[in-house]
Structure 1
């Protein structure tokens, strides 16, 4: 009776060696990828993750840079929401600004990019709209302060007086009723920045053949092309622009301070970032300032997640 004996020759060992070789090769490629990624990861952890974690910890302490941090629990947050009336005013001002200026800057950036993309001299117009965003907000505020000057020699007051629309100059940057509209107008003019360029780049990447195919399928107007072809293909750019608009709207500070001062009259132009700056770099109450920063981080992160859920596409 013959017993069957398995013979393991080169033909049987070859698949195992091939799998082992592929696994080793994949590990080497992954290690190489992490090696190239390590500079960014190190900088991101050191300058982003660690400060955020430290800020969360300091928000539960009393810390003034001269004494060791002393644990106070939720005391900073209770004072922030229950006793700090100026913070509630800054919260109201920031949300008013974000609700008005955020969507307006987002829509204007896209509409202007859409219109400029159809022009022949698109590079010139793109540069004209982008330059204000890279110029210092304080420097540009000087120009706007001349326009909104509260005397009769201010550009806007002079024009309104000559046209007979007002009988006396309007104190644009000192009247609590007009401070926030002025800040919104200046911010909108300076909002054509990174989001505007991203929208313009996304529009230029849409293939003209898709519009030709849409015309064959019955699309007859530019607005139908925009709704059925352009917007679905630009979800990544729209998502980036939305997150950028949220961060910019809740981070308004330098323009508000340059227009209305710090503190502004009746705190009409006081924002969350201005409140944080006050406690962090003027009063040096870093524990309380960290509580403000954590609250702002939670708000912007939550709104960002909502926008990502609305605009993210699994197909792209």
Structure 2
């Protein structure tokens, strides 16, 4: 009896699998026009996103110098990162955490606050001020860096040095971009100034989506000031826009790294003071040609990005019943 039961189970499973395949093929055929329109995006997403990600995952377990074939070494790269890579542990990781904290959450709150202040203005003035804040994000990073290099220039004609010298706060010019103590802080300031981009516009648009009748109902229910309005009405009503802005802020923060090279004028910032994880990847990939190790660090950065995105979705995605 048992062999017959096993045979019957296998027959049923095979029929179910054939039925599932047939149903899938039938669905694809019925929706063929939709998939035809999706095809350009799916092809680009596959070849430019999925394939590079899986290649980086594979190469993170190899030793590869771009000249010889990749050599599989298991988890050796990951172990080296945690036990031997002093630059990563001493500079790249702490600098990235500090940079991400100020440019991410604090920069995000600053963006929301500025967008809220601008929205209180008359519409004719609001458009001009919004353009003034958004304009820096439309200019190339290199062009903006030239402006900030002039501001923080270490000679007498540097804008900041000239201003502080005239006020008597300093007696001689300060080498702002060559001093490790100041370099990371300057990177944070410049990045926040450049961060009023698409996420900033999304927040401005989000204020328009809030039902104005909710504010009147809130006053009847006991809301007595603007801060309570923002907390109880504005933020819950524009969660989609805030989620989009948070995702853009996370992406912009974690992919930052070029700003260090542009400000310092070198691949490695002074005494690794502005060395972020992305700079660490560039160091191993394009200077040392240890592409396997660079792929492993990229994979670690991908994992950090994933958990940061999960946190954003947990904070700003709509819950059931909202």
State the partner residue of 2:296.
291
Aligned equivalents of 1:81 and 1:249: distance in 2? Answer: 23
State the partner residue of 1:124.
128
- Whether the 8 Å contact between 1:151 and 1:170 is mirrored in structure 2 is yes
Deviations 1:71-116 (A, max 9, x none): 1111211222221212221111111111122112101111111111
State the partner residue of 2:243.
239
Deviations 1:163-184 (A, max 9, x none): 1111222211011100011111
State the partner residue of 1:61.
62
Deviations 1:30-84 (A, max 9, x none): 4443333232222111111111011000010112222211111112112222212
State the partner residue of 2:72.
71
* Secondary structure at the counterpart of residue 304 of structure 2: helix
Aligned equivalents of 1:217 and 1:36: distance in 2? Answer: 49
Asked if 1:163 is matched to 2:160, the reply is no
Give the 3 Å change call, closer, same or farther, for CA 207–26 of structure 1 in structure 2.
farther
* Secondary structure at the counterpart of residue 121 of structure 2: coil
Give the 3 Å change call, closer, same or farther, for CA 46–100 of structure 1 in structure 2.
same
Aligned equivalents of 1:284 and 1:27: distance in 2? Answer: 44
Tell me how far 1:221 sits from its aligned partner. 2.3
Aligned equivalents of 1:86 and 1:188: distance in 2? Answer: 25
Aligned equivalents of 2:30 and 2:156: distance in 1? Answer: 70
Aligned equivalents of 1:57 and 1:26: distance in 2? Answer: 33
Which stretches in structure 2 are left out of the alignment for 5+ residues? 1-25
Q: How many residues align?
A: 292
Asked if 1:259 is matched to 2:263, the reply is yes
Which stretches in structure 1 are left out of the alignment for 5+ residues? 1-24
| Alignment counterpart, residue 109 of structure 1, candidates 108, 111, 122 | 111
State the partner residue of 2:95.
93
Give the 3 Å change call, closer, same or farther, for CA 251–26 of structure 1 in structure 2.
closer
Deviations 1:191-217 (A, max 9, x none): 101110111111111122222232333
User: Equivalences for 1:101-250 in 2 at 5 Å?
Assistant: 101-120=103-122, 121-250=125-254
- Whether the 8 Å contact between 1:173 and 1:179 is mirrored in structure 2 is yes
Which one has a bigger Cα radius of gyration? 1
* Secondary structure at the counterpart of residue 86 of structure 1: helix
**CA RMSD between the two structures:** 1.8
Query: What's the TM-score once normalised by structure 1's chain length?
Result: 0.87
State the partner residue of 2:10.
none
Moved more, 27-36 or 119-128: 27-36
- Whether the 8 Å contact between 2:281 and 2:298 is mirrored in structure 1 is yes
